[in-house]
Amino acid sequence: MGFFSNIFSKPETSVLGIDIGSSAIKIVQIKKKNGQAVLETYGELALGPYAKGTVGQAVVLPPDRIAAALADLMHEKEVNVTTNKCGISIPFGSSLMTVVEMPQVSSKQLGLMVPIEARKYIPVPISEVMLDWSVIPKAEAPVEESPGPSAGPNMPPNIPKVDVLVVAIHNDTIARYTDIVNKAGLAAGFFEIEIFSTMRSVLDESLAPVMIMDMGAASTKLYIVERGITKATHTVNRGAQDITSTISKSLGFTLERAEIMKRQVGATGEDETLTQIISLTLDYIFEEANRTLLAFEKKYNKTVSKIILVGGGAALKGLPTLAKANFKTDAVQANPFSKLATPAFLENILKETGPEFAVAIGVALRKLAEEE
């Protein structure tokens, strides 16, 4: 029986999702078993020390150093990656997204028209970017307005219009990530902008608008998503390393000690002074988030149903409580590992660390779907 089942069953393919952040690399290896995505291994490696900095610090490294760090992480005994098939996320800041209004024509015609129309919105020559686009289904299209013109010279007013989401990534960015992939000995099937990876790993089937708050080391990205479409984005130039820096300055600690305190104690209220110090940075981020929420609600006359906290900074203890106190709407820490079959004994640790791995899990899920 075993022999025959081996002949006819498809071999299990393991895939890797890779998220190269400003302060750490996160990887997740999964495979498909009995129709379900199963967690095989995962790991994280701080990049600070590779630039003679500290853990938790945002750094800019050349491709060969990032490739070396990635190889180190994959070959760690505890991680033990067994595949080189992967997808890689690209930072949101390295992309440009816009919605343009186009005439309702065939995909082939749109393919010729989008690059011409996109020139109006992209500040560099079209030859310098990789363009991707998709038509926003009618029920999901922004109703009130579109950043595109209502009718261009080639768009007679009587032709039905569609909204098209156009994404541009600079060729230099693609070249940089291709270089990292090659130097790390990986076979990357695709590069994906991180917001799409995050949406895949943290959103459910809900149709109501949600805000995803992605707190990295150097910045916090805010996305308002409705029915799978990004309706509003905003980047706040404050992140988790700013919290560490404020703790260090306020209490006279080294950055290393401040980082440890932030991770171990956090903003649970256990240490009141520490919670107050952490709140100083968070208040600024929350204020910007509230401004973004208000602008969206004013523009679309819709309320955001909840705020989902992701990113390394979102694993901060006590963050959901502070967020709930600052927003009118519910705030929850993302639990992307819930999209995978995982060992029961890891449940608590995966829930705690989950927000950090949202992008890597989203990338891995796409790669797994592509392997089927």
Domain at 300, CATH number:
3.30.420.40
What is the pLDDT, as a whole number, of residue 326? Answer: 94
Residue 347 domain flag: no
Are 159 and 210 in a shared domain? Answer: no
Are 150 and 243 in a shared domain? Answer: no
**What residues have CB less than 8 Å from 260, skipping those under 6 apart?**
none
Are 160 and 234 in a shared domain? Answer: no
Are 111 and 156 in a shared domain? Answer: yes
Residue with tokens 């998709």: 134
Are 225 and 324 in a shared domain? Answer: yes
Distance from C-alpha of 315 to C-alpha of 352, rounded to nearest angstrom: 6
Q: In the 8-state DSSP scheme, what is residue 10?
A: P
Strand 95-103 relative to strand 161-170, pairing: antiparallel
3-class secondary-structure state, position 137: coil
Are 217 and 318 in a shared domain? Answer: yes
The C-alpha angle with vertex 247 and arms to 246 and 250, in degrees rounded to 5, equals: 80
Per-residue pLDDT in tens (0 to 9) along the chain, 372 residues? 344 444 445 567 899 999 999 999 999 999 999 889 999 999 999 999 999 999 999 999 999 999 999 999 999 989 999 999 999 999 998 898 888 889 988 888 998 999 999 888 888 888 899 988 888 876 544 443 333 333 444 555 677 888 888 899 999 999 999 999 999 999 999 999 999 999 999 998 888 999 999 999 999 999 999 988 888 999 999 999 999 999 999 999 999 999 999 999 999 999 999 999 999 999 999 999 999 999 999 999 999 999 999 999 999 999 999 999 999 899 999 999 999 999 999 999 999 999 999 999 999 999 999 987
Residue 7 domain flag: no
Residue 340 domain flag: no
The C-alpha angle with vertex 348 and arms to 269 and 197, in degrees rounded to 5, equals: 95
Are 243 and 326 in a shared domain? Answer: yes
How many other CB atoms sit within 10 Å of the CB of residue 141? 18
Q: Taking the CA of residue 181 as centre, how many other CA atoms within 13 Å lie in the half-sphere pointing to its CB?
A: 23
DSSP H helices, the chain, are 2-8, 63-74, 107-118, 171-183, 194-202, 240-251, 255-264, 272-300, 319-326, 347-353, 358-371
Q: Which of 196, 195, 192 is nearest to 89 (CA)?
A: 192
Are 213 and 277 in a shared domain? Answer: yes
When divided into structural domains, the chain yields a total of 2
Are 109 and 212 in a shared domain? Answer: no
Q: In the 8-state DSSP scheme, what is residue 55?
A: T
Residue 144 domain flag: yes
Q: Which residues of 96-113 are buried (b: 16+ CB within 10 A; e: fewer)?
A: bbbbbbbbeeeeeebeeb
Distance from C-alpha of 236 to C-alpha of 170, rounded to nearest angstrom: 22
Residue 264 domain flag: yes
Predicted TM-score (pTM) of the model is 0.89
Q: Distance from CA of residue 126 to its chain's centroid?
A: 25
What range does the domain containing 144 cover?
A: 93-172
Q: In the 8-state DSSP scheme, what is residue 217?
A: S
Distance from C-alpha of 236 to C-alpha of 352, rounded to nearest angstrom: 24
How many other CB atoms sit within 10 Å of the CB of residue 257? 14
Distance from C-alpha of 84 to C-alpha of 346, rounded to nearest angstrom: 25
What is the pLDDT, as a whole number, of residue 12? Answer: 76
Are 237 and 327 in a shared domain? Answer: yes
Distance from C-alpha of 231 to C-alpha of 224, rounded to nearest angstrom: 6
Are 120 and 220 in a shared domain? Answer: no
What letter represents residue 215's amino acid?
A: M
> Which CA distances in Å does 50 have to 55, 59, 64, 88, 371?
10, 9, 11, 20, 33
Q: What CATH number is attached to the domain comprising 160?
A: 3.30.1490.300
Residue 355 domain flag: no
Phi, psi of 32 (to 5 degrees): -100, 125
Residue 11 domain flag: no
> Is residue 46 within a helix (H) or strand (E), and if so which, with residue range?
strand 36-46
Are 231 and 165 in a shared domain? Answer: no
